[in-house]
């Protein structure tokens, strides 16, 4: 890695489910992953919502309720420390939990949506709905329309356009250092971002429990738990 002080570097971090694993949030494709219990096409596509909205709603309500039981782990806290100590930092996450924010990160780009908010099917507006009554298995209606409309999970399902892609591509194309934490590299366009970073001359670093399918694209690979690897990696970066 070149000698420019890290505080001047433009750092972009992309996280996946692995960064929340040590908080007790299930990943998707590991053993006991979410996709073991639920076929993606039954719960994470627009077609599933059309076909069986009740099943999809209950799947997301269970994950929304879990937000109240989990807390940020050392990986989330280390990333917040990195953000606080460098000038140019962009955090992109594939995760839909709020653990980055609760761990101290700000301006988090949730490219696959969020569990905390729900989206009005009529207006497309999102609203935070995390009170007790918002977490039962009954459908909810919006507060934005004259005639209240049904709310859907504020999630990017397979086949839907990820969020904030313009800002995400701008940040990745301009960065000097691109770090991926806890992702299996299966889902696009997220899995393609490391290739864009490489094409634009960035240093690329991976922190993951095991080698993901796009492991070859990274210059530097740290195999281990994010909560154990990231704190020392961040200290080294800040000291530069």
Q: Which of 41, 143, 159, 236 binds ligand BV8 (CB under 6 A)?
A: 159
Q: Are 76 and 100 within 8 A, CB to CB? A: yes
Question: Least distance (Å) from ligand BV8 to the CB of residue 37?
Answer: 12
Between 57 and 176, CB nearer to ligand BV8: 57
Between 80 and 176, CB nearer to ligand BV8: 80
Q: Give the integer Cα–Cα distance in Å for 27 and 21.
A: 6
Q: Is 33 in the site for ligand BV8 (CB under 6 A)?
A: yes
Counting beta carbons within 10 angstroms of the beta carbon of residue 114, is it exposed (0 to 12), middle (13 to 18) or buried (19 or more)? buried
Q: Is 130 in the site for ligand BV8 (CB under 6 A)?
A: no
Q: Give the integer Cα–Cα distance in Å for 190 and 183.
A: 9
Q: Which of 208, 214, 233, 237 binds ligand BV8 (CB under 6 A)?
A: 208
Q: Measured in whole angstroms, how far is the alpha carbon of residue 69 from the centre of its chain?
A: 18
What is 49-64 written as a DSSP string?
HHH-HHHHHHHHHHHH
Q: Which of 10, 29, 129, 222 binds ligand BV8 (CB under 6 A)?
A: 29
Q: Is 233 in the site for ligand BV8 (CB under 6 A)?
A: no
Binding site residues, ligand BV8, CB under 6 A: 16-18, 21-22, 27-30, 33, 44, 94-96, 112, 155-162, 165, 182-184, 186-189, 208-210, 212, 225-226
């Amino acid at each position: 890695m070149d000698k420019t002080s890290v505080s001047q570097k433009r750092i972009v971090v992309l996280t996946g489910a692995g960064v929340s694993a040590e908080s007790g949030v299930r990943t998707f494709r590991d053993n006991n992953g979410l996709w073991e219990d639920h076929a993606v096409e039954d719960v994470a596509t627009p077609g599933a919502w059309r076909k069986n909205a009740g099943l999809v709603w209950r799947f997301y309500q269970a994950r929304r309720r879990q937000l109240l039981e989990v807390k940020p782990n050392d990986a989330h806290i280390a990333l917040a420390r990195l953000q606080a100590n460098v000038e140019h930092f962009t955090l992109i996450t594939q995760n839909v939990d709020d653990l980055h924010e609760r761990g101290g990160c700000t301006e988090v780009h949730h490219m696959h949506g969020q569990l905390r908010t729900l989206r009005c099917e009529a207006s497309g507006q999102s609203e935070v709905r995390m009170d007790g009554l918002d977490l039962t298995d009954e459908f909810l209606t919006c507060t934005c329309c004259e005639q209240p409309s049904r709310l859907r999970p504020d999630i990017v399902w397979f086949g839907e356009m990820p969020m904030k892609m313009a800002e995400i591509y701008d940040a990745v194309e301009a960065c000097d250092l691109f770090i991926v934490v806890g992702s299996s590299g299966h889902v696009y366009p997220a899995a393609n971002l490391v290739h864009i970073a490489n094409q634009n001359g960035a240093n690329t670093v991976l922190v993951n429990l095991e080698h993901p399918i796009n492991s070859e694209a990274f210059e530097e690979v740290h195999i281990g738990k994010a909560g154990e690897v990231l704190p020392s990696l961040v200290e080294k970066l800040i000291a530069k």
